[in-house]
């Protein structure tokens, strides 16, 4: 079978990319591969190395030890098939499509950011039950005026580098895109509109007299909901899970990431990175385009 290894680096790390590619090619010459070819996707930023091997795991056993010594280089190993370019993107929002955790920023408006951030971090590492942790944090926001949510969005929410290019490039090539978040609809609706997602799902904050009540409406959008959303979107779009690219950073993303044909942990918690097909530790979200075989010349405008 043909297998493709994609190597990606940040601008300015061309030498690191070249060293990693040379090390991989040297290792493959001594491994159980039949042939290999190198293709540049973006000069100094990304390359594909395609080779034949008996199984993906045989290839991983050769590649993983090599790449462990090239920490500035992100990599993805996958079968080189017709479904490499995915027909659906399903993405987490907080710390994935945007640079912050919305609930932590909201907590700052009531002087609770430090306390809430500790809970958020533990939940994203998978150390706390997500639903319980969400309810505990939302309770601390009771009385927060809705106008502060708008202030938070305008002043503190920034899109993750590469987010819009990722979504727009995939949409230009016919993909369906969905933002599925354990955060809140107030933010997902705005972020989805700004980036260009086709649909969005998230939790709904309960509001009374133009202020938060400290409760979130049921059902909670957590790990199982994200997995269910992936399956539902596949059904409505007449796609298989193999045609899906999923991306996220927290433990509540793991079922969704594992179900997708390509699940990518993005600047993720260790538990999440260990559970996925690939992990982006250095690059921005355009790495997910390189992983699908897009060259830089095919990217949509930023």
Q: Where are any strands of DSSP class E within the chain? A: 2-8, 36-42, 46-52, 74-79, 88-91, 176-184, 199-203, 205-208, 211-216, 244-248, 262-266, 278-280
Instruction: Identify the three-state secondary structure at position 262.
Output: strand
CA distance 25 to 31: 10
The torsion defined by the Cα of 14, 74, 302 and 103, in degrees rounded to 10, comes to: -140
Q: Which of 160, 144, 223, 231 is nearest to 194 (CA)?
A: 160
Instruction: Identify the three-state secondary structure at position 158.
Output: coil
Please give the positions annotated as active site.
92, 94
244-248 vs 262-266, strand pairing mode: parallel
The torsion defined by the Cα of 65, 67, 71 and 73, in degrees rounded to 10, comes to: -170
CA distance 264 to 27: 25
The crossing angle, in degrees rounded to 10, of helices 185-195 and 146-156 is 40
CA distance 229 to 5: 29
């Amino acid at each position: 079978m043909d297998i493709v290894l994609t190597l990606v680096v940040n601008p300015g790390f061309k030498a690191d990319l070249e060293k990693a590619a040379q090390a991989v090619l040297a290792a493959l010459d001594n491994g159980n591969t039949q042939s290999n070819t190198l293709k540049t996707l973006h000069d100094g930023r990304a390359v594909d190395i395609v080779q034949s091997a008996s199984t993906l795991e045989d290839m991983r056993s050769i590649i993983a030890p090599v790449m462990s010594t090239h920490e500035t280089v992100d990599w993805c190993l996958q079968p080189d098939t017709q479904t490499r370019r995915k027909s659906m993107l399903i993405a987490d929002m907080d710390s994935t499509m945007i640079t912050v955790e919305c609930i932590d920023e909201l907590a700052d408006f009531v002087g609770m950011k430090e306390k809430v951030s500790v809970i958020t971090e533990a939940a994203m590492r998978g150390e706390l039950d997500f639903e319980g942790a969400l309810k505990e944090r939302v309770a601390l926001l009771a009385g927060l005026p809705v106008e502060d949510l708008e202030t938070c969005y305008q002043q503190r929410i920034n899109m993750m580098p590469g987010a819009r290019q990722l979504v727009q490039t995939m949409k230009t090539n016919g993909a369906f895109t969905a933002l599925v978040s354990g955060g809140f609809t107030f933010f997902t609706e705005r972020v989805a509109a700004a980036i260009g997602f086709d649909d969005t799902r998230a939790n709904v904050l309960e509001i009374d007299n133009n202020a938060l009540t400290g409760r979130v409406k049921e059902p909670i959008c957590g790990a199982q909901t994200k997995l269910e959303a992936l399956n539902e979107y596949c059904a409505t779009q007449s796609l298989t899970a193999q045609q899906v690219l999923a991306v996220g950073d927290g433990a509540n993303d793991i079922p969704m990431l594992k179900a997708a044909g390509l699940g990518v942990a993005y600047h993720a918690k260790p538990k999440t990175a260990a559970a996925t097909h690939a992990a982006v530790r250095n690059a921005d979200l355009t790495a997910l385009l390189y992983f699908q075989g897009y060259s830089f010349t095919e990217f949509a405008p930023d």
